[in-house]
Amino acid sequence: MYGEESTTSEPGSAPPEAQPAPAYAPAPEPSAPPAAPSHGRANAALVAAVIALVIALIGVVMFPGPDGSEGPEGAQGTAGQDGDDGQDGDTGPQGPVGSQGPAGTNGVDGIDGIACWDLNGNGTGDLPAEDINGDLVVDVNDCTGQDGADGLNGADGLDGIDGVNGINCWDLNQNGIPDLATEDINGDLMVDVLDCTGPMGPPGPGGVMAWAASDVMVPYGACTQIDGLTVTITVPANGFVAIHTSLVLIIDHTSPTRDIVLFKISSVPFDCIEDMWSGVEVVADQQPTSWYWPTTATDRVELVTAGTYTFFVSIWTTAGMSAGDAFWSGNTVAVFYPS
């Protein structure tokens, strides 16, 4: 309606506050009907009408009429499309710790492992293969492995404090002074290391020895013992005695007869039986008739226990015996070697 503005509220919105009614401008007086206008008058009337309409519109805008009553609620409109998801919000604070839950049920027992000593894994202690330490029991004491490699040497420690000087070997009374009267053991009027000889120790290997020598001429014939070459030796323990004899003989040789002379060391007196210990000296039958002076020797080894033993040297002729045959000189040495 002219001079009013209709207002429609959104559904569910509060009605607009009432505005004070504006003062209306007086409507213009109606003009008398125009006479039959000419063309110029018609244009003037149109301009006046437009101006009047503009003025009326300005009045409507500047001086609106009172609000109309609220219209009925319109029908529900079609739902719009979903908007885009908003950004995730910040993580909230940590909640309180929950209470302890009930204990679970026990699981099924696992299979027993293999004992460290059970080399073949059969669950049985097998003697002797698994008795590593040889105590006739198969147990954890048989589980020792091989020794590991040696570790690296540690750093050398600091040198210790020098010790006190020792006592000289000649200082029998330990007073640090050489005392000639009591400490000059070798009698050279000086006390030094030459006076440090201790008492004689027990015999070492081969340290027990006996010997004999003779230059008394003894004629020999069928079986003659040379008493000057007999030796006696006392041994302290089990072992053996090595005996050696060296002889210078006189053989009265007459060609074309062969001379054969045997000699022997034995623990039996007058032992003139030929064996592996016998020595022999021969002058061939084609050798010229003359006196021969051979130097010869023989040995013997005898097993012994602790005790005293005597060894004899015998000489005998088996061919070419002559009145001039004789022992000239010789020696015998016996040495003990412990076993």
* Average pLDDT of adjacent 10-residue blocks, the chain of 339 residues: 42 45 50 52 78 79 74 84 85 88 87 89 90 89 83 90 88 90 88 80 69 96 95 94 96 94 96 95 94 95 96 96 94 94
Fold of the domain spanning 208-338 = Jelly Rolls (2.60.120)
- CB within 8 A of 52, min separation 6: which ones? 28
pLDDT for the residue 64: 67
- DSSP secondary structure string for all residues of 190-222: --SGGG---------TT-EEEEEEE---EE-SS
Contact present, 4 and 66 (Cβ < 8 Å)? yes
Contact 279/263 with Cβ under 8 angstroms?
Answer: yes
Q: What is the pTM of this model?
A: 0.42
Domain map (residue ranges) of the chain: 167-198, 208-338
Q: Are the C-beta atoms of residues 232 and 328 closer than 8 Å to each other?
A: no
